[in-house]
Structure formats: C-alpha cells, structure tokens
Structure 1
C-alpha cells in the first residue's frame, strides 16, 4: 500500500527536490501540500508548488496556503540563499491550477481526522502551520501515523546563528509548540527529527546532477563547475533543466560561503526518511526550544539522558548512508523525469560542457 504523505514546505530549492522525490516515488501517495512562509513568503511558496506540479505533469494535488507570518515575530525570508523566487535561477511557468479553499492548518486537521493513523506528516519548513493546526486539533500527535521534521541542530553549529537552524529560527514559538504537543505521542509515533547534524552530510555535487540527467536521458549533458559562466540550462528534459537552474544557484551560494561547490540537501533527505525510516539510525531524546536566551533564542536543546525527568518526544537521526540516499534520489527522480518527458518527444543534441550551452544571461 502506498504511504499517504502530507508535506508542509517553504519551497525553497531543497524543498523542491523533496517535492519531486515524493512525486517520483511509487510508494508515496501525496495527499496534500501546505505552503508555509520561510525561504520566501507563503504566497510565493504556493506559486512554486503549483508550478512544480505543472512541470512534473502531476495530477491534481491539493495545495493549501499557510499563514503569512510566524506565530509571534515578523517573518524573515532568505532570498540570498534560494533566489528571489525561492527556486534559484529556475523560471517556472506560472500555473493555472487553483489553490485550495481551505488553509494549510485546516488541511492538516481535516486530513488527519478523516484518515486517522494513516498519514505521515513531513515538515521541511518552519512549523507555523502545524502549530496552528495543533491549536484546533490537539489530538494530531495521535491521529498522524508519524511526523518527520527537518529542523534543529544539536551537536552541530547553526546555519542562521551560531546555534540556530533556519526553520526553527524563523518561528521558534511554533517549533516549541510542536515538540511540546508531541510529548503526548506514543513511542512509535514520536517525530523523527532530521537536524543539521545529519543533513549537512547530505552533500549534492555536480556529478549527482550529471547522473540525474543521464538517468533521465536528457541531452545535452551539462557539466557544472565553479567556472561555469552565467546562463540557463539547455538540456532537453524540462524537469532536469529547471532542477539544474535551481541547484546551480544553491551550489554558488555554498561556494560563496566557503563550503565548497556543493549543496546540502536537507529536505529531500527528510522526504526519503518519511518513506523509508531504515535510511536513518535514530536515538530518542527530549527536545525543547529556547525562547528567552539572549544569545541562544531558537536553539533546539536535546536531553539525551533524561536529566529533565521528561519522556522522550523525538527520535533524532544520528547516522545515515548519504550514498544510499543519493542513489535512491537519482534513480527515482531520473526515471520520473524520463517517464514524464520521454526522450523521443524532446529535441536533443550531443553532450557538451554547460559553458558552451548558454547564451542567455541570468
């Protein structure tokens, strides 16, 4: 039986790959997409989700608009990391699909009530929508089959402040509300938390993009590198071309911040864990979120040893096999792209370096 997934995203370059991973996974049944404000404002997130569904020739899937602001603080977005529209250099055609008439919080509540014990929730952005849903339906921790969260940092530096991970930083009140609420979840339904400790080991590099294009039979094959000049992808498969334009921006961002010509694939890893928890080795802990520290506000703190005298409310991922994840992602998205756009439909040219494939500027 296909696993029902409700994904809450702030799309976002790596959120885009998470969405594609689920669309490409035969074992996934994507029942709804909640748009949360984070990397870009919620309305832009929703537009990105609808546009990706069009590019992927996906069936109708409900896309619900989430809250425009975090629970208690002004919204902070990160166009410097993800580009002005959240998808790097990609320019997706505007979609004619319509947004859901219900809010993202109502989507969470009504889907969980209608299908108790059947849905895995996946959050790859700030937890605002889920926190609002919990206000309306406190039973969500027992109504969901499982929750997977990309967020937090424990034994690892933050990526927003010295101790903060981005998703928690944007709405720490929401993150605390979610972890507090899921203290009521039974052990088998504790949230699985994919924090920076693990997700920053999921390093996508140019050869992964090349393998994706090869798997999709998208031509010309484009070899990205640090010296690649500006321009749009000219490869034939639209899914691969838009991914190349999006991920290239992410490569450049990481390079500019002295992390190498690579991209951390936080969110597609969390999507993979949502479908196959054997990909992750976890350790239970009690997680809380600091809200009052002058230097540490929005820091996620894990009590691994029971010092607080509280039961664990999370299973934190402590180990994985990045190569296994990338093999899965490349196979799934590559095959999906090829099936959506069979090579015989597309005009192709021989392999060439991407530096000679672009005439249009950014």
Structure 2
C-alpha cells in the first residue's frame, strides 16, 4: 500500500480554503464550526444541514445559533434532507442530547435559513466557483448524494472533498462494523463514493474514518486550556467527579456553551466505558480540510454494504486491488493527536477571547 504524508502547519503562510460545509450539527459538528470560524484559512461559502444526530430542523437551528453566537450571520445556512434516501431516519439524542448540543442552551436565532435547499446550494455554488471549493461533510451524505443526482458533473467541479465517515480496520460505533454517518444513509454514501470513481487522484475524497478519529480524544484538560486561553473566569475544570449535568459558570459565552456541550458528550463516553472523554471526530476532519494538521493517507477503493443482514452500512476498503477497480478515495490512516489539540485549543481559545462577548450568563 502506498501512503501520502500530508503535513499542514499553522506556522505556514495562510492559504485560504473556500468551503462548503455539510453538517448534522451535534456536539462535535458545533466544535468543528467553531474551529473553522476561528481559522483565518477558512472562507465558508455556506453551511448545509442534514438530518442525522437530530432532525434537520434542529440541526438548522443549532447551526444558525453557533454562527450567530460567533458574529457570522453573514454565512448562508441551507436546510436539506429530512430523511435518508431509502432508510427511516435514525437520530442519536442519547449521544448528543435532546437538542443535539448536550447541555448547551444557545439563544434562539431570529434568522431564517436560505430559500434554496442544501442540494441546490451544492450544485449552484460549484457551478459559480468551479475548481475552487472544498467540500467538508461531517454528517450523513444525503445532501451531497441528492446534489449529484441533480448534477452528475458536480464532483468534477470540486477542488476536493473531505468526509468524516466510515471505519475500515476498526470497530463501528453504530453496529459492530458500521460508523454513524454512513449507517444513517448507506445508499447516499455509496452514491457519493461511486460518483468520485474515475476522477484524478487529486480529486478523490479524503476520508477521515473512526480508525483515526477515535484517536482524537478530547479530555477535560483540553477544555481547561481553551478557557484559559480565552481569559474566561472562573477557571474551567471539568471533572468526572462533578455531578451529572453540572453547568459551566464561565464568563465567556463561547466557553460556557462549549463546556456544557462537551460535558454531556464526556458523560456519554464514560457511560459506554470509554472514559471521561469525547471523540471529536468532526473538528479533526475540518483541520484536514484546511491542511492545518499532519496526517497520512492511503489510497483505496471504497464501497458500502447495503444488503447484509448484519453488515448493512459497513464501509469496505480494497487496499490491494483485489476488486480490480481503481482507487476512489484517500483514507486517513494516521495523525498526531497531541499536535492537533495544541493547535485546536490555542486557536479556539484565542477566538473566544477576541470575540469580546458579554459576561452575562443569559
């Protein structure tokens, strides 16, 4: 298997990446959005919403709330698919909370989503900016699959696509062999991978699977570092000894909402006997899209099982050419979590500090 080592660094000259971001805003999607908003490399053309962690209406409300909190009401938010292509919708409030953002209580937004659908936005934005846009999908791939059905040439117009999804040599987190985003809509995932087959390798999707993203373990110390960098008071100190559901008293609104969201996520992981931590899959994929984190990729041919009684939603990678089909993806197989968290905590903390948000707990 050949490997490509891709080294990004926040110390390199800033190169702007224009993004279409497609989310099912739960806790780690919200942190990914916060990271992107904090990143000078990120130029967000639109944020598109799909049903996944919670229904699409709540996803859209969460997305608007995060952008509004960060002073970015200028970014288009488009609502998309309410249900997967074929299967009934699965949601995961047990993981992300009844509203999808843990214990966080964002102020209600007064802003309405875009008049166009998420699929229409995919098509129209890539027609307006051919070869310029990087797609980042951190939820099910339903919107993108619908867009490709509308315009099969869409993949050729993307500069690159980064996907958080799938697992290959790693246990699943939805079934023993399947990852959540793909398991919610396996048909959409297969259609997307098929749509990128035959393109040059530089346009193959970069896939961030559980194999790598479950090494991205956020611990209480990382939340503490964000709070410290933001100059929020009092000191933030999440602890497994805290009462379940305890709320943050942070003076900084971004820190307070982030802490309340991540506390729920850490409690969930502890309940699953994984430790008092949070796997923040989506911020890592966002950093890959921007090129600000070191990672290694391996080319493979990816397909999705649709029929298996026990294996539906499983992503399979042919690493060695057994299928005699050309690779259609670059799978992230390694990274450096400590480098990622040093970068993430400093960047998000500084962003929260510089927003100069009011100290009220309202």
Shorter-chain TM-score bucket reads: over 0.9
Is 1:270 aligned with 2:285? Answer: yes
Is 1:60 aligned with 2:81? Answer: no
Contact 1:90–1:245 (CA<8 Å) still a contact in 2? yes
Shift in Å, 1:91: 0.4
Whole-angstrom distance in 1 between the partners of 2:293 and 2:36 = 17
Shift in Å, 1:137: 1.2
Whole-angstrom distance in 1 between the partners of 2:37 and 2:347 = 9
Equivalent position SS for 1:285: strand
The equivalent residue for 2:207 is 193
The equivalent residue for 1:360 is none
Whole-angstrom distance in 1 between the partners of 2:271 and 2:332 = 28
Q: Which runs of 5+ in 2 are unaligned?
A: 1-14
Whole-angstrom distance in 1 between the partners of 2:63 and 2:78 = 10
Equivalent position SS for 1:5: strand
The equivalent residue for 1:279 is 294
Whole-angstrom distance in 2 between the partners of 1:255 and 1:204 = 13
Contact 1:142–1:186 (CA<8 Å) still a contact in 2? no
Whole-angstrom distance in 2 between the partners of 1:97 and 1:208 = 32
The equivalent residue for 1:354 is none
The equivalent residue for 1:333 is 348
Structure 2 matches for 1:169-318, cutoff 5 A?
169-229=183-243, 230-276=245-291, 279-318=294-333
The equivalent residue for 2:9 is none
Change (3 A) 1:347 1:105: closer
Contact 1:64–1:101 (CA<8 Å) still a contact in 2? yes
Whole-angstrom distance in 2 between the partners of 1:119 and 1:126 = 19
The equivalent residue for 1:351 is none
Equivalent position SS for 1:336: helix
Task: Please give the TM-score of this superposition, normalised by the length of structure 2.
Answer: 0.94
Equivalent position SS for 1:188: helix
Question: Which residue, 85, 88, 91 being the options, matches 1:74?
Answer: 88
Contact 1:71–1:128 (CA<8 Å) still a contact in 2? yes
Structure 2 matches for 1:69-148, cutoff 5 A?
69-148=83-162
Change (3 A) 1:82 1:347: closer
Equivalent position SS for 1:160: coil
Shift in Å, 1:256: 0.2
Whole-angstrom distance in 2 between the partners of 1:154 and 1:62 = 34
Equivalent position SS for 2:196: helix
Whole-angstrom distance in 2 between the partners of 1:114 and 1:54 = 26
Shift in Å, 1:346: 3.6
Shift in Å, 1:97: 1.3
Whole-angstrom distance in 2 between the partners of 1:60 and 1:316 = 33
Contact 2:137–2:164 (CA<8 Å) still a contact in 1? yes
Shift in Å, 1:184: 2.9
Is 1:159 aligned with 2:173? Answer: yes
Change (3 A) 1:278 1:195: same
Structure 2 matches for 1:341-360, cutoff 5 A?
341=356, 346=359
Contact 1:141–1:184 (CA<8 Å) still a contact in 2? no
Q: Deviations over 1:111-130 (max 9, x none)?
A: 01100111000000000000
Contact 2:287–2:293 (CA<8 Å) still a contact in 1? no
Contact 2:198–2:326 (CA<8 Å) still a contact in 1? no
Equivalent position SS for 1:167: helix
Whole-angstrom distance in 2 between the partners of 1:267 and 1:91 = 21
Equivalent position SS for 2:330: strand
Equivalent position SS for 1:63: strand
Q: Deviations over 1:153-185 (max 9, x none)?
A: 000000000000000000000000000001032
Whole-angstrom distance in 2 between the partners of 1:101 and 1:182 = 28
CA RMSD of the aligned region, Å?
A: 1.2
Contact 1:272–1:279 (CA<8 Å) still a contact in 2? no
Structure 2 matches for 1:41-52, cutoff 5 A?
41-52=55-66
Contact 1:194–1:317 (CA<8 Å) still a contact in 2? yes
Shift in Å, 1:59: 4.0
